[in-house]
């Protein structure tokens, strides 16, 4: 972690940040109405993906399928992290989590990164 966030490494990603800011500004310029929450999340995701993985996520993230897909995945993951799992406190009562659908949502979330965007959806 220290090597990823060293001052030399952070400075080396300046080009990535500048390119992503230019894309973000161009996207905002082209839209008549812009959801800044989604655009900011896509911007941060693209900067992190390009810095860590060397490539953009999905279709660039700014309104592309990849950006929507990662937001759905992150939202579901956050919901699971914040949820109450009975089996964590009472291991013998895991069946309650299965009846509530908690276990199935965890399994679905764990396989989603291996699927193509839009291949599988869930409803809340």
Percent of the chain surpassing pLDDT 70: 69
State pLDDT tens for residues 51-105. 776 666 655 555 555 556 666 777 787 788 888 888 889 989 989 988 988 888 8
- Which one of 18, 44, 63 terminates a domain? 63
| 58 and 78 co-located in one domain | no
- Please report the pLDDT score of residue 6 as a whole number: 79
Band of residue 124 on the pLDDT scale cut at 50, 70, 90: very low
Backbone angles phi, psi at 21, to 5 degrees: -65, -40
CA 112 vs CA 70, 76, 99, 103: distances in Å: 10, 11, 21, 14
Q: Are residues 48 and 75 in the same domain?
A: no
Both tokens of residue 60? 């660039």
Tokens for 56, please give them. Answer: 């953009």
pLDDT of residue 105: 85
Higher pLDDT, 39 or 113: 39
**What is the reported pLDDT for 2?**
59
Q: Do 42 and 23 sit in the same domain of this protein? A: yes
Distance CA 11, CA 60 (A): 22
Looking at residues 3-11, what average pLDDT do you find? 76
Domain range for 35 = 1-63
Arithmetic mean of pLDDT over the chain: 76
Give me the number of domains the chain comprises. 2
Indicate whether 59 and 22 sit together in one domain.
Answer: yes
């Amino acid at each position: 972690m220290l090597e990823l966030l060293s001052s030399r490494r952070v400075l080396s990603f300046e080009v990535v940040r500048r390119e992503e800011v230019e894309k973000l500004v161009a996207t905002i310029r082209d839209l008549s109405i812009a959801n800044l929450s989604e655009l900011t999340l896509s911007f941060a995701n693209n900067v992190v993906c390009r810095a860590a993985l060397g490539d953009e996520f999905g279709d660039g993230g700014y309104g592309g399928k990849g950006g929507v897909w990662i937001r759905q995945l992150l939202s579901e993951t956050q919901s699971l992290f914040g949820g109450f799992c009975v089996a964590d406190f009472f291991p013998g009562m895991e069946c309650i989590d299965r009846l509530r659908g908690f276990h199935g949502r965890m399994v679905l979330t764990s396989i989603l990164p291996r699927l193509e965007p839009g291949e599988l959806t869930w409803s809340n």
